[in-house]
Structure 1
């Protein structure tokens, strides 16, 4: 694949000095050309490509058999070779897999949702008003994003809170707001061995006065029971779904409690519609594929090392944090699927923030800094409020920023020159609904997978997070006693300083 990526170089050299408005002007249909998939609209007109570059990118996808790779993903092939597993997050929301493995996974997901509905009914019949979801990483970021984003359309009767950080200040701050007699806690951990989740879980279990209102989502029922969670209040997780792809599963228990079971089903339906699209649409009209190809173009063709996601909807303010894990944990790899070293760039550093706040913090660097930062701008055409003036101002700022990034402005004063040439993609949602949010998240999931196929890496393992956790476990005794075997000298000096101050 390195040689194929190198084939982008002539196109990049030809377009390096091209002006985006000139590229738009050269093609009378380019400005209005867009991809429409259900409630999503995506316009790539302000990317720094032309017809030849676009054709080369699509040829790259065809050469890598992206369509076949997507079919293999959904059918439950072993796409995670380092752990010898499939990655069947699509089976959680759709029955498009054409294999016994995929069909069995979908059946398990449907059964788990039925159990989840029973537990929701149990909670609804109680005096519980507040739910605390305790998890970290994929057990927190996805559910937290969806609950925050869909608060305006929520039909569930519970207030849902999230606790992830092992810092005790987070737990202390949260429980000050809640009544233990009216609160239930959901512990989300596949192994039921996640340090942060168990430490926070113990705090909350003691605060509740026992395990009567403890629930869990885990693959390790015995450990959950040993902790004090009754087996009938444990929902399943599976090793064929990675944490960052798991919000569609029982990990979404908190989502269903917040937005209602019907809202959760609509979220799954939106994602399933994107699954169908990515399998059926030709490469040229395939939204996740085209999104992935533009990321590849900016990273490997033009050499841009970062990528910003800028939602112009306050309800999507947590999307950049969610995508940081999805993108950087999936694609932050320096070896190929077979373990050999790769000689091309992979994951861009992903970051971002909500407009218009971000315009008054880091947009200075985006407009006039020395680094060009490609962006995804995301907007919502119809708001969920009646403040029409505010929404028009929000959309005006969204459109103005994409125009200014691409076109720039040339004036006599060099301090005030906007160089332009900053590529961006504009994604519009009709409304922010469970269906549109499900489709948007699934679009990014499939884009990430396509990028991994084109880079020849495994998107479904995350060995890079293990070393720090292992060392942290080894350092706990030293922090308690001041002694430890074979401590790194810098770490030993820091432990002395911490203990001196503690």
Structure 2
């Protein structure tokens, strides 16, 4: 048994949550529930009134946060203490968006100064490329950028670039490559011109298997298209901590951007990993995104728990996973530009909190990270929303929507909003049997048929959701939104007392994959593994003779 589940507050929450009334009743009993259970911060508005919660629920959750020393753990992260204990590292992605005048010391070095120097390096590079001063090997300006990475080095830049499409300068196109499947990079190279293409390789070690393989293939393509080894420096730059390998590859040392151990991949888009973003939207807009994230950092660090947006969202997620049996959480973006955001939050949350032991190695006896999934509204309403409304699983939902569209056109946005708000209402209130039967009263069906169909139209409701609104999707509000989910993830991990910043499961898959790769390339039968792995390896080898 863990200390957490043996606490009186945990046990009180178990009893309390079983006796909560239907949310319909909560709204009927409190006409001010929306006003009492909503808050604003950093350009975002959060309506959390459609949660299975009363004042007592919130009081118990805040008490749990106090007992697990959440505030102290927040301060420890911002102060650069070693909170990633299994890798003996500080966790300071917040320093990447710190204000220039802030001072954060780590091992005797003010890392904010290092971050500012890197941002200045990025700004000069972005200006050189976007202005056309940076020339390819034939003297032509760059028109296309290929970003090569994997995990956080790929997903963050891709999804943020997609989200900020209205802010693209129009001077460059960007293509993202992560999958080691040759089809991915091959299809992109087909439409590119080596004379005007720039490759940005992002790998801390300059040896990540997928990233290095794709980069080597890109280099081979470049050389077969007319470029020479001496021309590589004009078409390849790197974000890495391994300067030696990058320069050996042919990259000019002046075009190598640093990475730091105190930044995890899934938290790295604020660093030079975000170089593709800056190339597309310009450095000023990139800095505005950092500004929004910093504003959320300060809110998270300083706001009382009762008004703290990441804390509220983290506590509600914990509530449903640990006390209502929810095993997944859906993120629904009612904005086309934000359609990739659920995948980004999926990696952020599941790689961070997919753990099964506490910091001291004790096996947990409670549910940790849920499955995060989602999609774009209104598309999902004609697919998986059916499960949300009438399925047997409890799936909490986040609805995200800007009040104003970048593309106002006729009735499109008002219809989008009506769908978004209507879905949250339907999930909350549902439809009982009497209401369903009443709706059938004017039909031509017989009484028995009406009774039968009414049973099929019953929806239990009481399905929780948060609604996050912003005036408009901008670099600043996007920065705030992403930082909100970063800190929401931290809150849960802090209360569960797990390490949200390592990823040993990912490492195991890499190591075993490398072992299998050696056997796939061997000249003898692979017989040292389990029978399934051996059989699959031999089938692949036979099929590729």
Q: TM-score band (shorter)?
A: over 0.9
Aligned-residue offset at 1:119: 1.8
Structure 1, unpaired ranges of 5+: none
Report the Cα distance in structure 1 between the residues aligned to 2:537 and 2:301, rounded to whole angstroms.
53
Report the Cα distance in structure 2 between the residues aligned to 1:121 and 1:35, rounded to whole angstroms.
39
Report the Cα distance in structure 1 between the residues aligned to 2:355 and 2:11, rounded to whole angstroms.
19
1:472 equivalenced with 2:475 (yes/no): no
Q: Aligned with 1:430: secondary structure?
A: strand
Aligned-residue offset at 1:24: 1.7
Partner of 1:491: 533
Report the Cα distance in structure 2 between the residues aligned to 1:100 and 1:202, rounded to whole angstroms.
37
Tell whether the 8 Å contact from 2:95 to 2:104 is kept in structure 1 after alignment.
no
User: What is the aligned counterpart of 1:123 among 121, 124, 129?
Assistant: 129
Task: Deviation per CA, 1:433-486: give whole Å up to 9, x if none.
Answer: 000000000001111111111000011100111112111111123223453361
Q: For residues 214-253 of structure 1, what are the structure 2 equivalents within 5 Å?
A: 214-253=236-275
Report the Cα distance in structure 2 between the residues aligned to 1:499 and 1:98, rounded to whole angstroms.
56
Tell whether the 8 Å contact from 1:310 to 1:377 is kept in structure 2 after alignment.
yes
User: What is the aligned counterpart of 2:13 among 8, 25, 29?
Assistant: 8
Report the Cα distance in structure 2 between the residues aligned to 1:455 and 1:389, rounded to whole angstroms.
46
Task: Deviation per CA, 1:262-311: give whole Å up to 9, x if none.
Answer: 00000000000001111111010000011101011111121211100011
Q: Aligned with 2:376: secondary structure?
A: coil
TM-score normalised over the length of structure 1: 0.97
1:107 equivalenced with 2:113 (yes/no): yes
Partner of 1:459: 500
Tell whether the 8 Å contact from 2:342 to 2:374 is kept in structure 1 after alignment.
yes
Report the Cα distance in structure 1 between the residues aligned to 2:170 and 2:357, rounded to whole angstroms.
44
Query: Alpha carbon RMSD of aligned pairs, Å?
Result: 1.5
1:271 equivalenced with 2:293 (yes/no): yes
User: What is the aligned counterpart of 1:20 among 2, 18, 23?
Assistant: 23
Q: For residues 218-367 of structure 1, what are the structure 2 equivalents within 5 Å?
A: 218-367=240-389
Partner of 1:86: 90
Tell whether the 8 Å contact from 2:118 to 2:272 is kept in structure 1 after alignment.
yes
Tell whether the 8 Å contact from 1:166 to 1:200 is kept in structure 2 after alignment.
yes
Report the Cα distance in structure 1 between the residues aligned to 2:368 and 2:11, rounded to whole angstroms.
13
More displaced 10-residue stretch of structure 1: 156-165 or 4-13: 4-13
More displaced 10-residue stretch of structure 1: 238-247 or 90-99: 90-99
Structure 2, unpaired ranges of 5+: 135-140, 224-228, 438-453
Partner of 2:408: 386
Aligned-residue offset at 1:100: 2.2
User: What is the aligned counterpart of 2:68 among 59, 64, 68?
Assistant: 64
Tell whether the 8 Å contact from 2:5 to 2:365 is kept in structure 1 after alignment.
yes
Are residues 156 and 277 of structure 1, via their aligned partners in 2, closer, same or farther at CA, if it must alter by over 3 Å?
farther
Partner of 2:440: none
Aligned-residue offset at 1:98: 6.5
1:501 equivalenced with 2:543 (yes/no): yes
Aligned-residue offset at 1:431: 0.4
More displaced 10-residue stretch of structure 1: 91-100 or 312-321: 91-100
Report the Cα distance in structure 2 between the residues aligned to 1:311 and 1:494, rounded to whole angstroms.
40
Tell whether the 8 Å contact from 2:330 to 2:398 is kept in structure 1 after alignment.
yes
Aligned-residue offset at 1:370: 1.0
The number of aligned residues is 500
Tell whether the 8 Å contact from 2:325 to 2:394 is kept in structure 1 after alignment.
no
User: What is the aligned counterpart of 1:203 among 217, 234, 241?
Assistant: 217
Report the Cα distance in structure 1 between the residues aligned to 2:12 and 2:195, rounded to whole angstroms.
64
Are residues 339 and 156 of structure 1, via their aligned partners in 2, closer, same or farther at CA, if it must alter by over 3 Å?
farther
Report the Cα distance in structure 2 between the residues aligned to 1:79 and 1:388, rounded to whole angstroms.
51
More displaced 10-residue stretch of structure 1: 24-33 or 335-344: 24-33
Report the Cα distance in structure 1 between the residues aligned to 2:128 and 2:103, rounded to whole angstroms.
36
Partner of 1:446: 487
TM-score normalised over the length of structure 2: 0.89
Tell whether the 8 Å contact from 2:342 to 2:375 is kept in structure 1 after alignment.
yes
Q: Aligned with 2:51: secondary structure?
A: coil
Tell whether the 8 Å contact from 1:311 to 1:353 is kept in structure 2 after alignment.
yes
Tell whether the 8 Å contact from 1:324 to 1:351 is kept in structure 2 after alignment.
yes
Partner of 1:135: 149
Tell whether the 8 Å contact from 2:77 to 2:92 is kept in structure 1 after alignment.
yes
Task: Deviation per CA, 1:128-161: give whole Å up to 9, x if none.
Answer: 0110110010001111111000011223622111
Q: Aligned with 2:82: secondary structure?
A: coil
1:35 equivalenced with 2:39 (yes/no): yes
